Chain A
Amino acid sequence: MNPKSNWHAVHEALVERRERMMADPPTAEELLAYRRGELAPEHEARIRELLVTYPALARAIAQTEPPEEPRPGEDDYIPEQEIDRRWKALRKRLRKNHREAGRVLQFFQISTAVAASLALAFGVMLWKARSELGQPRVAWEEQLLMPDGRRGISDAMVTLRTHGESVLLVAPLLDPEQYPEYRLELTDSAGDTLWTSAVKRRHNDTFAILVPRSFLGAGTYKILLYGVDGGQQVHLASYSLHVPRS
């Protein structure tokens, strides 16, 4: 009878206990340092416990000498032709890995070149934009608006001229009443708000906003002016304008 046969249950219980507490196996460097006795006592105790958890590693560590070459007739003997076959298979695998590594490298080289070109292009564009912003510029077009209902007999709405990068919309306020704050709102023909902001009343009782031409496509717009006093907001005037197709 196998002297260990009745210990099967103990073994199972130990394996069950081991699998419950299984930590990652130690690294090869740790194992070799352990074998050479180079670890501090606590570290050594931890590795010892892991060797019990991973008996395959305990067996590996126990092989202090290189194994002898298996001889014909031994269980683990590998015949010469089998070695040749395995060697060919490995060479094939190595070549494939090499080709794949080459492809990955090529992919990264191309990606890096593309990324570098894009970065350069964006860099140049940014530099150009910054330089242009730092340069003196021709004054923008100024457009005086008239409040709705006070544009005279024809009551024709103001039409924006289409040249220039930006347009300075100047809205005069005829109401003499002063408010602590004012707010302008730009809406489209459907009444949806496109932009809104607090504005200052200028010394000549006008309000001015600088609008990039590209912000306003062809169509009809309305600018609404409000006086704000605490939580209250009073509608003071509306200004309609038309942007023709360019």
Chain B
Amino acid sequence: MTRRDEKFDAVYRKYLPRIYRYFRQCRVSDDESHDLAQDTFSRFYASMDRHRGEAEWAYLEQIALNVLRNWLRAQKTAKRSAKLVELDDPEFTQEPEAPALPDYAERQHQDEQRRSLHEAIADLTEAQRQVLQLWLEDMQYNEIAVALHISVDAVKSRLRDAKRILSARLGDKFREETE
């Protein structure tokens, strides 16, 4: 094993579990986290000659962040170019039947609810919406505070205001939980 490989081996063993945890904490699935961790070290290997040995974590974190960013970007692109299915594809034609659509009155009710929901969200300030959105993504108050560069108290107050506005617009179902 060359000295370069020895150095890489040491970094890999020391940081693989942390890099894996880093991706898991970003709520990336288990398999994907393993793949992204391997990608991170593969990139580290390619660029390790530029690394002088100091601030190993900071160096790895930057690579990991890039890997995560590229993965998110690829997912976005994949969503936009979803798979096309041939109409005469037997797999497609043998798909189980779609569940019956709700009746007209039910659909109208759902559309109405959706519309009022979007209108209510539009009533929120940008700051309130951002906090609400991250809270609904299951982020902790302190995580939201760090991510948005605000205090934990500001997170709580914006969230409270957002919930109050939505409750006022959307009715009792939300009021019970916000009070």
Residues of A at under 8 Å CB distance from B?
3-4, 6-7, 9-11, 13-14, 17-19, 22, 24-29, 31-32, 34, 37, 44, 48-49, 51-52, 54-64, 66-70, 75-78, 83, 86-87, 89-90, 93-94, 97
Contact = CB atoms under 8 A, between A and B. Distances in A.
Interface in B109-126: 113-114, 117-118, 121, 126
Nearest to B148: A48
Contact of A60 (B17, B26, B113): B26
A55 B27 contact: yes
A63 B142 CA distance: 10
Contacts of A58: 134, 137, 139, 143-144, 147-148
Contacts of A67: 18, 21-22, 25
Contacts of B45: 94
Contacts of A51: 134, 147-148
B65 A32 contact: yes
A56 B27 contact: yes
B130 A28 contact: no
Interface of B, secondary structure class, is: helix
Interface residues of B, number: 60
Given A27-B66, A58-B143, A14 B136 contact: yes
A21 B41 CA distance: 33
A69 B18 contact: yes
Given A13-B118, A63-B25, A89 B38 contact: yes
Nearest to B9: A87
B168 interface: no
B22 to A, nearest CB: 5
A205 B36 CA distance: 87
B65 to A, nearest CB: 4
Given A10-B117, A22-B76, A90-B42, A61 B146 contact: yes
A56 B28 contact: yes
Contacts of A55: 27, 133-134, 137, 139
Nearest to A101: B46
B150 to A, nearest CB: 10
A219 B62 CA distance: 77
Given A51-B147, A57-B69, A58-B147, A32 B134 contact: no
